[in-house]
């Protein structure tokens, strides 16, 4: 070999220079690409699941509404006869009233603290 030819051949064998990408090296790049895409997809899936678990607004809809009223009962139920209500009855819907099931205005503080807009249920007798 002459001086210039030997160096060019050595570079081609070492993967240096133009046209150095051989068939074996192309599949190596493809394997690296597949591994990178798989890793990115896995990270995206884990991130999405973490978002749904910890940051999603759906979690708010699963939050407990009743903080302290009759917690020893499996279900809180109140029944009233219409005749016993009088002309007007105001019932709590925020679950914060100290006079539950009647409203004591606790929803005002609850709304200020949470940004909610809950108010009482008002039942009035129809005027004849």
Residues with a catalytic annotation lie at 75
Q: How far apart are CA 72 and CA 83, in angstroms?
A: 30
Which 3-state string (H, E, C) describes 44-113?
A: HHHHHHHHHHHCCCHHHHCCCCCCCCCCCCCCCCCCCCHHHCCCEEEECCCCCCCCCCECCCHHHHHHHH
Q: How far apart are CA 16 and CA 10, in angstroms?
A: 9
Please compute Rg for the chain using Cα positions: 36
Place of tokens 């099931």: 101
């Amino acid at each position: 070999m002459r001086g210039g030819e030997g160096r060019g051949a050595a570079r081609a064998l070492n993967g240096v220079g133009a046209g150095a990408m051989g068939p074996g090296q192309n599949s190596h790049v493809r394997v690296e690409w597949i591994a990178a895409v798989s890793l990115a997809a896995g990270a995206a899936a884990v991130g999405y699941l973490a978002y749904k678990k910890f940051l999603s607004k759906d979690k708010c809809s699963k939050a407990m509404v009743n903080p302290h009223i009759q917690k020893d009962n499996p279900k809180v139920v109140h029944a009233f006869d219409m005749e016993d209500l009088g002309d007007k009855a105001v019932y709590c819907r925020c679950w914060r009233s100290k006079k539950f099931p009647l409203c004591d205005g606790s929803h005002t503080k609850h709304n200020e603290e949470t940004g909610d807009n809950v108010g009482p249920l008002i039942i009035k007798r129809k005027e004849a």
